[in-house]
A and B are shown apart, each in its own frame.
Chain A
Amino acid sequence: KQEVTQIPAALSVPEGENLVLNCSFTDSAIYNLQWFRQDPGKGLTSLLLIQSSQREQTSGRLNASLDKSSGRSTLYIAASQPGDSATYLCAVLGGGADGLTFGKGTHLIIQP
């Protein structure tokens, strides 16, 4: 059964810092990996999708990498802003499961 772990569970940093969120998964037979953002009481916003054949994807200040063989992904946020405060979820498609398997998320607070 696919399992997804996210580290750290929570992170608080001053505005302007660059930061890295980590995600690991147990079964490397995945189709893709998605990073989502969830604001309190809201649904999920898709940030980046990395297909299994790709190593990284970039969108604005966000960069996500994927090392499928080692079962790891990182989300890099450059020049963090208070508006980046949210819970960031990592999810994988595949590894023996229908639908996405989610990690428990990283609760991020950017201090003004």
Chain B
Amino acid sequence: SAVISQKPSRDICQRGTSLTIQCQVDSQVTMMFWYRQQPGQSLTLIATANQGSEATYESGFVIDKFPISRPNLTFSTLTVSNMSPEDSSIYLCSVEDPGGTGKYEQYFGPGTRLTVT
């Protein structure tokens, strides 16, 4: 398994501003992911973040709105830019196969609860 932390745990932001969410894992991992969970909904993948390459975004998500950094194998950031109330969600990072078992099991951070007013 892996220990994953996220900062901040929650925030209330004004529309038009940006928030950067940090994800730290206690072991080196190749694959990291960012998901969004809108109120009352399940999780939707935003993007895949691999170290040393550009993030890959899912349909409906664009880099200008959700820029991602992956400077090393234990850390990633997601920025939510020019926020609107529709961006109010829980944002979660996950890592895949931290032990290198080949099973591709994913582990999740505690999430960042974002409210945009």
Interface residues of A (CB under 8 A from B): 31-32, 34, 36, 41-46, 49, 51, 89, 91, 93, 97-105
Contact of A100 among B41, B43, B56, B113 (CB under 8 A): B43
Whether the pair B104, A31 counts as a contact (CB closer than 8 A) is: yes
Whether the pair A42, B111 counts as a contact (CB closer than 8 A) is: yes
**For window 89-117 of chain B, which residues contact chain A by CB distance below 8 Å?**
92, 94, 103-111, 113
If over half of A's interface residues share one DSSP class (helix, strand or loop), that class is named, otherwise mixed; here it is: strand
> Complex Cα distance A34/B33, Å?
16
Interface size class, chain B = 20 to 34
Cβ contacts A to B, 20 pairs, < 8 Å: A31-B104, A32-B104, A34-B106, A42-B111, A43-B111, A46-B1, A46-B105, A49-B105, A89-B42, A91-B43, A93-B104, A98-B45, A98-B56, A99-B33, A99-B35, A100-B35, A100-B94, A100-B106, A103-B42, A105-B42
> Which 4 residue pairs across A and B have the least CB separation, nearest first?
A99-B45, A43-B110, A44-B108, A102-B42
**For window 45-74 of chain B, which residues contact chain A by CB distance below 8 Å?**
45, 48, 56, 58
